[in-house]
Every structure is written in structure tokens, then in C-alpha cells.
Amino acid sequence: MAVTTMIGAKIHRREDPRLVSGEGRYVDDFTRPGCVALAVVRSPHAHALVKSIDITQAAKAPGVVAVYTHKDFVKVLSGTMPVTPSFVAEKKQSPPRFPIADKEVVYQGEPVAVVLAETKYQASDASNLIEVEYETLPAVMDLDKALEAKSPTVHSGAPDNLGWDLTYIPDDPAVMKEADVVIKVRILQQRIAPTSMETRGVLAEYSKPDGTLTVWMSSQSPHFVRLFLGGAMGIPENRLRVISPDVGGGFGAKISPYSEDWLVPAAAKLSGRPVKWIESRTESLQTTTHGRGQVFEVEAGAKKDGTLVFIKATQYLDAGAYMGTFAAFQACACLLAGGAYNWKHVAARTVGVLTNKVPTDPYRGAGRPEATHLCERAIDLLAGALKMDPAEIRRKNFITTFPHTNHFGLVFDSGAYEKALDMAMKIAGYEKLRKEQEEGRKKGKYLGIGLSSWIEICGFGPSAATAPATGGIALVESAQVRVFPTGSVAVYVGTHSHGQGHDTTFPQIVADTLGVPYDSIELRHGDTAEGPAFGYGTYGSRSLAVGGMAVHKASKKIVDKARKLAAHMFEAAEEDIAFDQGQFYVKGSPDKRKAFGEVAFASYGAGLPEGMEQGLEAVAYYDPSNFVWPFGTHIAVVEVDPETGHVDLKRYIAVDDCGNIINPMIVDGQIHGGVAQGISQALYEEVVYDNESGQMRTGTFTDYLLPSANEFPIFELGRTITPSPTNELGVKGIGEAGTIASSIAVINAICDALAPLGIKHVDMPASPDRLWKQIQEASGGSSNGKEARK
């Protein structure tokens, strides 16, 4: 590699001038000649039989072009929506899902009909004229009750509501007996709406003469959509182009394909008109996959001196009415239940449960925030039981030697956990805070300090591990680097940037590898008609550690060819050629140089070495040897008002280690956003359904609480750098770190604040009403730590 000049530099984002000028192009900003608007008629019931659908009035309404129902779509769509094995290879039940309901609807918001009209107002008007006769059925809404033998079933005729039940590692009763103290806790991970500010949207145009389909959509993984949609519509990949342009956030909810991703292209084929559908916010809250939706039963034990002995976690996952494509990915919470610590034994079981709700699927962190939450809560409870400082018990039990193989066979590549803890405590002024807390308690002030020492598995991932998990496609990554005759460079990647800044950071890598000016490199992504044959998308903090490495690998192939050509031009042996900052020269004669651009130009000319083809371009697929393992420690400082249950988040300290850094400004930005989302889960957000009717009670932003700028302090960041030995760049991932760490930092702080009242556990969201009730119960001398709201 050339001398590093761009890697590690704070380069301002080149995508920003268009985005701050209103020149970004999101899917709703595109149209096609003759385009019609599509509106979806959705089930208002969580569970019902569809007795009849009367489209007569709607079909006659002004501007209506067509009305389609299940019977129309079966003519152009086949098969069912994809479900991957993920971390649960064998599922007991995975109900087949067609993108539009036929005789039975199983969650509120499930499509039953679509209307195509000349304008979106007309499509919306006409959709209200469709009369659907339903016969309602009992809705299965509660995770616990769903597993009871007498429970109604989510799907008529199903044997029960069990999706999967897998014990990764069973209990070891002998080890459990070695513990001097044992704690038990039940942890609620409420359903969260991922809520990117841009909702989903699809625009599709079908050419009947050519048999080609072009789809513009808001997706994190356009190649996967092409793969699945092509299968459903019988269109080969070479005639199907998926374009995911500027995307207004994803957070995991734009990985898996959705019903509308099938229905809109199918409607374009059926009608012969380009069709556009843009999801409304209510549709988004109701039908875009939710995150979390889990309950954990946790038991952990330690010796008197604080040595950790065992942790046992059972995950009950509310899968919803169908399995999300990557629903079972969330079971990775089990595999990381031991967190950053040495335990003698870790036991874990995952149970997937069907309910009459929209499916859950990955949301920022997907399984890893849940793992961190349960483990860090258990650590604090053990510290409390042992009357140890929470920092001390962590320090005593940290994993310190790497690579470390955990109980599930996962290999942590590198780490320095204590270093991050020390830095976080230093920034926080931990000792001083503890003194303030002690003083405050005397005056009736409930100050709390919460620690979260997090780890993460990311950079998905090695082909041997990931191909079985997806059902065949390995989650490697591809890149193509093209050097044009005059030396400018285009880089095509299979990842997708929707806020992560790849347009800036990937060219930083290429600039260093090729030694060419950063400004001469352009990054392209999100269009399946460009670049390598397959791309794997952006999720799971994988883009840099896998995609960045693919870019680096392709760039090195370019340098290799250019070096051969330069040797030929110098009439020297290849091994005698030096390459430094974009200049080739014969070792020992650094005065005579050939710039990279000169060699690039020559590569398109005559007189190349024997056997060398013209051109200077390369494709690389990078298959990592392992996952990567970022880590860190976060500290939240809160004050709880016992009169109102209000939590004042006074300070938030985040020390993260994601290995080597390409652009520190972007890393900090990722941490800010991630931390905010975790805090938001801890304090504000919750998807609420009415347990009787199955109606969503949080179907607009009026009821689904997203925090504004008013709710957060400035976050205080620190950083340690422990390079990853897994890849040549030494990089890990940072997209999810903040979210993984922060929910439990806040909850631990609240529990710490309320410890004098005997409150041992608080569930999320720690809203004023929930906390107030718990404080009231605790002050009244009744038992504490119980779930105040179901």
C-alpha cells in the first residue's frame, strides 16, 4: 500500500452538497412517462377471514386504471416471500406468505387489494370505495399466552404458534451449584418501529416487448431484491434492474423484501403502465418490520469474590404473523449472552413465537443490543448482590486474551476491554460522580450512573458461516475498479450507502491504494445494472470490513497489473519496480518515474507485454476469514424525579473501539446516531397494540414517540484503537455500536438511581408513567421490580 494519506483523514462528505441543496434523489423524486399511483387496501383487523371483496364502485371512480386482488397477482407472481435459516436452521413452522392476502388476513395492515389511478389522490379516494367483508377471528397478541396449549392460532388450522425452539447450549446444573449468589431477571425488549425518515417506496416500469423490468426502490440491498423478485416474476437477472438511489435511512428495515416490492412491479406488468407506491407513515408503522419484540428470562451466578460462574438466557421472540426474511438473525442475542466476560458456563435457548402482528426483523443491532442489555443487566444485579462496584466486577471478569473462542464457538478477533472502561470512567469522572451520588442521596436526589461494556459481532461475514444462514448466498462483498484512459477512476460496490458516507470513505481507501488524487475517484452503488454481477448490501456494520476490503482488493489487482506494465515500459523486471504514492520507478532510480495515469493511458494502447490484455479494470470478491468484533464502554448519568418518574439524562459518555478508522468524522456521526436510537428505546419508543382487538395504538407520530433535539444532551465521545487482525485494513464496524451499548447504559443508570428504593429492575421504555408506578409500589413497601405495564 502507498503511504497513508487519506485513510484516517477527516474528509467532508462529497454527497452533502447535493443533499443540502435539495438535489438528493430519493425514490419519490422519480417518475416515468405515464406513471400511475398505487394505493394499497389493507386489513383493518389483526385476524379475519376475507369473505368477499367488492371492487365495483372503486373501479368506476375517477382516474382509476385498475383494481387488483389476490386472483390477479397469482397470474404474474409465484412462490412465497423468502425466509432464511439465519441462526435457526430448522423452524417448526414458517407460514407461507404470498404478498397479498387471499382468504385470511393475519395482521393489521396486510394487503388485500390495490388500486391504480392517474393521481395519488384518486388512488387514495378509490381505495376507500373497496368493500371487503371480513369475519373476524381471535387475535393472538400476547407472547406468553400464544404458547399456551389452549391459545387460538395465528393462522387457521395451524397446530400451534411455535415458530422455533432451539437450545444452543443446555444448563449445566453442576456449574450452577458453584455460584454463591444467583440473580434472576425477566427483561422486556419492546417492539420498536425502525422509522427511517424516508418511508419505503417502489416505482416499477415493465417493458412488454423487451421483457425487462426496472425497479426504483428504497433498499439497503438491491441485489437481493433482484434475486428474489426475479424468482417470483420469472424474470432473469439480466432483464431485471433494481435501482436504490438516495435512501433516507434504513436501520435494518430496508434489507428484507416486502409485499409491495412484489405487488408494484407485478401491477406494472399487469397494467402495462409504470406504477409508483410511496408508503405513508401510518403504513410504515403498521407494515414495515418491527425490531426487538422479545422477552428474556435470565439467570446468572457468581462467586463471593465476584468471579462470574454462569449465565443462562432464554429468548422468547415475537416473530409476528410470518417469519421475517431474517427474523431468526435476532437469535444471535443468545450467542452473545456472555458479553465481554469469562464465564464458566453459558446456556442459551431461543423460542420463536408467532403472533397476529407485523413480522419482526433486524433493526439496528439486531440481537446484539438485546445480548448486551441482558448481560449488562445481569452483571449489575450480581454486583448489587455482592455489594461490588459495577466497574469492579466488570474489570475482574473481562476477557483479556485474544483471539478468544466463546462458548458458542465464535472467535473474538481482538479487544482491550479494560482500556475502554478506563477511558470512559476517566471522561465521566467516575469517582467524583459516585461521591456526588452519595451526597445527593442524603438530600433525596436520585442520581444514577449506568455502565455498559459492550461487544459486537459484525462484518457479516465468512462464506462458510453465512452461506448456510442465507440458504445459499454467502455474505461476501464485491467491488469493481475501473481506471479510464486519462486516469480517472470509477469504483462500483455491492454495498449501499444511505447515510454512512461510503461515497467519501471508499474513495479514501482507493486513493491510498492506487496513490491517485482522491478527487479523481468516483464511487457508484445501488444500481444492479452496474458493477459486479452480485452485491450483498449494507447491514450488520459490514460495509467497511467486507465491502471496503473488496474495494481494497480490487484496487490492489489494478496496482499489480499496472506494475507489470510499468516494468515493461521501463524495460525492467517486475520485482525491481517500486510503487510509491501513485508513481512507478525502478528501485535505485527514483528520478525516472511514471505516474499512475501514464501507465493507465498506456494500458489502452499498443505494445503491451506478451499476453497482457488492454485495459485497466478489476473485479474482486472479498471473503473475510472471520467476523470482526468492536467493543467499548458507555456511561450514562441520569437523575430520576421520584415525584413524576421523569428521567433527566444529564450526561452520556461513549468510548468505542472499531479498529482502524478511515474517517473519524463519520465514525463519530455513526456513534451519535446509534446512541440516540438506543436511548430512545430505553426512554421513549414502543409499538403498542390493543391486546383484545389487535389494533395498533401507535400508528402515527402523534402516538409513536420519537425524540426531538430537545431530549438529548451532547454526547461525550472517546476512542481507543485496537486494529482487527481479521483484515488487511485492520478495520471493524461502527454502524450499530451506539445502539448496542446505549439502551442498557441508560437502564442501568435508572436502576442505580432507584436502588435506594429497593427497585432492582426497570423495563423499557422507562417512561414517566411506568417509573412513577414502580416508585409508588416501592415506596408503599410492596414488592418491586415487577412489570408495571403489560
* For other proteins, the closer CB: 12 or 71: 12
Q: What Cα–Cα distance (Å) separates residue 260 from each residue in 215, 225, 283?
A: 12, 12, 11
* For other proteins, the closer CB: 288 or 478: 288
Q: Which residues contact 429 (CB under 8 A, 6 or more apart)?
A: none
Rounded to a whole number of angstroms, the minimum distance from the CB of residue 127 to other proteins is: 15
Rounded to a whole number of angstroms, the minimum distance from the CB of residue 730 to other proteins is: 23
* For other proteins, the closer CB: 439 or 648: 648
End-to-end, the C-alpha distance of the chain in Å comes to: 57
* For other proteins, the closer CB: 17 or 758: 17
Please name which of 283, 217, 219, 213 lies closest in space to residue 29, comparing C-alpha atoms: 217
Rounded to a whole number of angstroms, the minimum distance from the CB of residue 511 to other proteins is: 13
Rounded to a whole number of angstroms, the minimum distance from the CB of residue 194 to other proteins is: 9
* For other proteins, the closer CB: 668 or 763: 668
Rounded to a whole number of angstroms, the minimum distance from the CB of residue 669 to other proteins is: 5
* For other proteins, the closer CB: 19 or 569: 19
Rounded to a whole number of angstroms, the minimum distance from the CB of residue 424 to other proteins is: 18
Alpha carbons 542 and 358: distance in angstroms, whole number: 27
**If DSSP states are collapsed to H, E and C, what string results for 21-51?**
CCCCCCHHHCCCCCCEEEEEEECCCCCEEEE
Please name which of 559, 735, 718 lies closest in space to residue 630, comparing C-alpha atoms: 735
Name the helix (H) or strand (E) containing 577.
Answer: strand 577-580
* 395-415: b (≥16 Cβ within 10 Å) or e: bebbbeebebebbbebebbbb
Rounded to a whole number of angstroms, the minimum distance from the CB of residue 581 to other proteins is: 17
Contact 679, 638 (CB under 8 A): no
CA angle at 30 for the pair 25 and 36, rounded to the nearest 5°: 155
* For other proteins, the closer CB: 84 or 190: 190
* For other proteins, the closer CB: 145 or 672: 672
* For other proteins, the closer CB: 121 or 272: 121
* For other proteins, the closer CB: 12 or 75: 12
Rounded to a whole number of angstroms, the minimum distance from the CB of residue 665 to other proteins is: 5
**If DSSP states are collapsed to H, E and C, what string results for 197-262?**
CCCCEEEEEEECCCCEEEEEECCCCHHHHHHHHHHHHCCCHHHEEEECCCCCCCCCCCCCCCHHHH
Contact 224, 247 (CB under 8 A): no
In the chain, the largest separation of any two C-alpha atoms, in whole Å, equals 91
Binding stretches for other proteins (CB under 8 A): 9-13, 15-17, 19-26, 28-29, 121, 195-199, 246-249, 251, 278, 280-282, 498-501, 665-666, 668-669, 672-677, 700-702, 706, 708-710, 712, 714-715, 738
Alpha carbons 416 and 724: distance in angstroms, whole number: 11
Rounded to a whole number of angstroms, the minimum distance from the CB of residue 198 to other proteins is: 4
Alpha carbons 435 and 440: distance in angstroms, whole number: 8
Rounded to a whole number of angstroms, the minimum distance from the CB of residue 29 to other proteins is: 4
Alpha carbons 407 and 403: distance in angstroms, whole number: 13
Pairing of strands 345-354, 212-217: unpaired
